[in-house]
Amino acid sequence: MNLEWNLWAIKGVQKEQRQYSFSHSVPFEEYNRLLGEQGFVVREVVALDEQSIMTIANKENP
């Protein structure tokens, strides 16, 4: 997984030293809160393994 992390980049986004973290990354709880501020409803939070969590959310129709 570390090799994969080192082989890709997002234009204009700087990676941090820690795997899968970027400059201006926010903690998981803050990320989900920000989703809510943008009109998303978090439906489920799934633990994929000891290190990975996935948020399932959808945007409500106005």
Residue 46 has a pLDDT of 94
Residue 57 has a pLDDT of 94
Residue 43 has a pLDDT of 95
Q: What is the pTM of this model?
A: 0.59
- Residue 47 has φ and ψ, to the nearest 5°, of -80, 120
**Spatial CB neighbours of 33, under 8 Å, sequence gap ≥ 6:** none
Output DSSP code: residue 20: T
Residue 31 has a pLDDT of 85
Tell me the C-alpha to C-alpha distance, in Å, between residue 25 and each of 17, 53, 60, 61: 12, 15, 25, 27
Residue 16 has a pLDDT of 62
- Rounded CA Rg of the chain: 14
Q: Which residues of the chain have pLDDT under 70?
A: 1-25, 62
Residue 6 has a pLDDT of 54
